[in-house]
Amino acid sequence: MAKEDETRTCVRCLYEASGKDKYCKRCGAPLINRCSDEGGRIDKGCSHVNDSDAAFCARCGCQTTFRKQGLI
């Protein structure tokens, strides 16, 4: 997880957000690519934080929030 003094880059608008922010204040996109928790290929969701380029959760196979929202 990013610390408060770090930044996160929004994958939609490329805004540099504060590390404490969960959503981009410019476009509203999520800044953290979590497991969607909506039934994966193998398991139920797990809320795992995935890399920003992950379309599916590395732990359970569910879609990530970035994929569900069309960000990747």
**Is the torsion defined by CA of 35, 13, 20, 22 positive or negative?**
negative
pLDDT digit string, tens, across residues 29-64:
999 999 998 865 666 678 899 999 999 999 988 999
Residue 56 sits at φ, ψ, to 5 deg, of: -130, 150
Q: What's the predicted TM-score (pTM) here?
A: 0.80
Domain boundaries, the chain: 1-31, 32-72
pLDDT at 26 over 70: yes
Is residue 65 within 8 A of residue 43, CB to CB? The reply is: no
Could you give the C-alpha distances from 43 to 10, 15, 32, 33, 50, in angstroms and in order? 28, 34, 21, 18, 16
